[in-house]
Structure 1
Amino acid sequence: MNSHSHPMPGANMSLELRAWNIRRKALLMGEVQGQGYIGQALGIADVLAASYFHALEYRPEDPEWEGRDRFLLSIGHYAIALYAVLMEAGILPEEELETYGMDDSRMPMSGMASYTPGMEITGGSLGHGLGIAVGMAMGLKRKGGGQFVYNLMSDGELGEGSTWEAAMSGAHHRLDNLICLVDFNDQQADGKSTETLCSEPLTQKWEAFGWHAQRVNGNDMQAVVAAFDTARESDHPGPRVIIFDTRMCKGVPFLENREITHFVRVDADEWGKALDVLEEGKPA
């Protein structure tokens, strides 16, 4: 659990409720702009809740604390999702939510490390995150700290050669402090990921590259938490990957059923409807 220097607000809150809060904040930010990568934020909310309220070591009041685990957002366009969890974690103030995507905001529509506390890298060019994570994990190992480096990437990035170069490097350098999180929602800008460039059999590919690999339902909180624990505690001598099968727009069924969910545009009245539908499914 997080080694915070003081108890966090809502310390006893369930991970399911944290995930719900993340979804709600993402929808509110989407409403500010009238559009956005909401599908991804709703889909990955459970993984983010487990990351920040179960797996990661960090101090909300000191985002650059040297002892922190690093959480890299390789997928810069998922920034709306990360902002939502950074607010939930108390790293970003919630009142900034209304500035999302505005000029001079600390929350630009695509994530940039120089703007946002808690944003470790600028991950706009897809396929770079895992390479940066390998370098960070090597550096932290040499310093002798016990920190983990988490890299959240998309299934679309599995079609980038640099991802697999980084995968080879991570195994070669036996980086047992590196955990890659793959959001497999089978959707990218050009259509289904599996139809754009199929990367299956995925678990076996990562294993062949020397990684400890797991594949779980990324919208099943118990499965997600167990996968994080297994990845951290494994005695595998190299890096670990968890492939999360997630559903775009999870939690808002009328959006889940849309054919195109990579970039969600909804009519003005639908934001309220989406928030109402989410409210109906609020966990206890």
Structure 2
Amino acid sequence: MSLPTKAFDTSVLRKKVLDMAYAGSTVHIGCAFSIIELLAVLYRNHLRYPGNNPVDPGRDYLVLSKGHGVMAQYACMHELGWLKDEALSRYFSDGSDLKGLSDSRIPGLEVTSGSLGHGFSVGVGLATGAELRGTGQKTYALVGDGELNEGPIWEGALFAAHHELKDFMVIVDENGFQAMGSTQEVLKLGSIQSKFESFGFEAVTIDGHDETAIDCAITDLWKSDSRSPKAVIAKTVKGKGVPFMEHNNIWHYTRLNAETYAQAASAVAGGEQ
């Protein structure tokens, strides 16, 4: 599938997230904003969907293990034409199919996630199946850094390395926060890259908002001759794009009102806070 070079404009994607969050009076805005560039690059340059079909058997897999960031994925799915304007405008309303967490009943979402730590292992399972079938399909699991507190992540990592799942890639959204505080306060992670390398992954750390760096990291890892699974550690900013949300963990659970919606919409459009 060939997409226009301007597809997945990140300011447009952020505005869609704001519109959904305001319409649905819901939360997790900061969590969605930290992964906008990661998803934009994946959908624009790397994920393969034959015939632009989100359920094509030969598609690549994108597992949003941090399922609470799903508004960012919905925004990308809207760009692809998989979701209509009405679906976004009715986000989180009574009777809407679009929930606040990733739901596998929506074509284009591979897992029902929200119970953190499990999507990674589902991705490992999908990658194992593709490896056994010899299809060459790529599997990406996008996880949060706070999610790395969960033991199943590391069980899955051991499995992926042991079985040489060379077409599996974890992308860590390292924004430094989780629901109840900073990752440093809740449970120190140290060097995430070193941890994945010690588990047998080929890993790299990048600026998770630099689209060129994201694209190059993914491309270079896939070019590797190693049979190791891959890890991209993306240093990000929670709430990226809206100054009063950046590094401000209250926007994990804070809802927009008319004033903050207007201020945030102006910021993502390039205006003042």
Q: How many angstroms apart in 2 are the aligned matches of 1:279 and 1:213?
A: 34
Q: How many angstroms apart in 2 are the aligned matches of 1:50 and 1:43?
A: 13
1:267 CA displacement:
2.8
* Other-structure match for 1:129: 119
* Other-structure match for 1:277: 267
* Other-structure match for 1:113: 104
Matched, 1:233 2:226: no
Deviates more, 1:86-95 or 1:65-74: 86-95
CA RMSD of aligned residues (A): 1.7
Matched, 1:98 2:89: yes
Letter in 2 for 1:228: I
Secondary structure in 1 matching 2:143: strand
- CA spacing shift, 1:212–1:265, aligned 2, 3 Å: same
2:162 alignment partner, one of 146, 169, 172: 172
Structure 2: gaps (5+ residues): none
Identity of aligned residues (%): 36
**TM-score calculated relative to the size of structure 2:** 0.94
1:44 CA displacement:
0.9
1:12 alignment partner, one of 5, 25, 28: 5
Letter in 1 for 2:26: Q
* Other-structure match for 1:266: 256
Deviation string, structure 1 residues 109-168 (Cα, Å, up to 9, x no partner): 112111x11000001210001111111111011111011000011111111111000000
Deviation string, structure 1 residues 171-225 (Cα, Å, up to 9, x no partner): 0000001000110111111100122111112111111110000111101111111
Letter in 2 for 1:48: L
CA contact (8 A) 2:34 2:237 kept: yes
* Other-structure match for 1:184: 174
**TM-score calculated relative to the size of structure 1:** 0.91
Deviates more, 1:243-252 or 1:256-265: 256-265
State how many pairs are aligned. 272
Secondary structure in 1 matching 2:232: strand
* Other-structure match for 1:210: 200
* Runs of 4+ that moved beyond 4 A: none
1:153 alignment partner, one of 127, 143, 165: 143
* Other-structure match for 1:81: 72
Deviation string, structure 1 residues 12-57 (Cα, Å, up to 9, x no partner): 316xx62222111101101102331110111110001001001111
Q: How many angstroms apart in 1 are the aligned matches of 2:262 and 2:50?
A: 34
CA contact (8 A) 1:249 1:255 kept: yes
CA contact (8 A) 2:26 2:92 kept: no
Q: How many angstroms apart in 1 are the aligned matches of 2:29 and 2:255?
A: 9
1:84 CA displacement:
1.0
Structure 1: gaps (5+ residues): none
- CA spacing shift, 1:218–1:199, aligned 2, 3 Å: same
Matched, 1:35 2:37: no
Q: How many angstroms apart in 2 are the aligned matches of 1:80 and 1:53?
A: 17
Q: How many angstroms apart in 1 are the aligned matches of 2:119 and 2:256?
A: 30
Structure 2 counterparts to residues 234-253 of structure 1, below 5 A:
234-253=224-243
* Other-structure match for 1:58: 49
Q: How many angstroms apart in 2 are the aligned matches of 1:196 and 1:236?
A: 35
